[in-house]
Amino acid sequence: MRLGFRLKHHFFSAFRELFVHHHGSLEFRAKTFALIIAADENARVENYIVVKEIALDIYKNDKDRANLLIISTKEMVKKVKDNNGLNLDTLVENILQELKVVPRYAKKIDIEALKPFLKLSHSKDTVSYQENILEFLQELKDETLQTKKQKG
């Protein structure tokens, strides 16, 4: 990443909510990516290449925004791996709570975009666990959108 972006990132990380347009949306996406990546104990750099590809597609080649999504995802995965106040259960709880507050975030759960992460896992147990996470996310998305439709 460019030096200018790194400097901007350090500044923004302290004030991310104030300066990043649609910060909540970006953080929600980062949580879904982190959930699937952190489920693999042997996650590699290739996971973040996939995140970047997806992010560039989502944000229409806005490299700064894509990099912010990658950095946010890496931070969350690191917190899970370091057991630094975040684990997979807490991440799931955070996703559930955010969907209750902002149901439209359910539209940001893209199961097809998350499937490439399964190809990066070498353990059958890990792949099975990640498949269960994808199934959970799909059910959560469907349930949230159905509830929103009934209310709206």
Question: pLDDT (tens digit, 9 = 90+) per residue, 46-105?
Answer: 999 999 999 999 999 899 889 999 999 999 999 999 988 889 999 999 999 999 999 999
How much of the chain exceeds pLDDT 90, in percent? Answer: 72
Tens digit of pLDDT for each residue in 117-137?
999 998 999 999 999 999 999
The whole-number pLDDT of residue 19 equals: 46
What is the DSSP track for 30-98? Answer: HHHHHHHHHTSTT--HHHHHHHHHHHHHHTTT-HHHHHHHHHHHHHHHHHHHTTSS--HHHHHHHHHHH
Domain that holds residue 146: 3-151
The whole-number pLDDT of residue 6 equals: 59
The total number of structural domains in the chain stands at 1
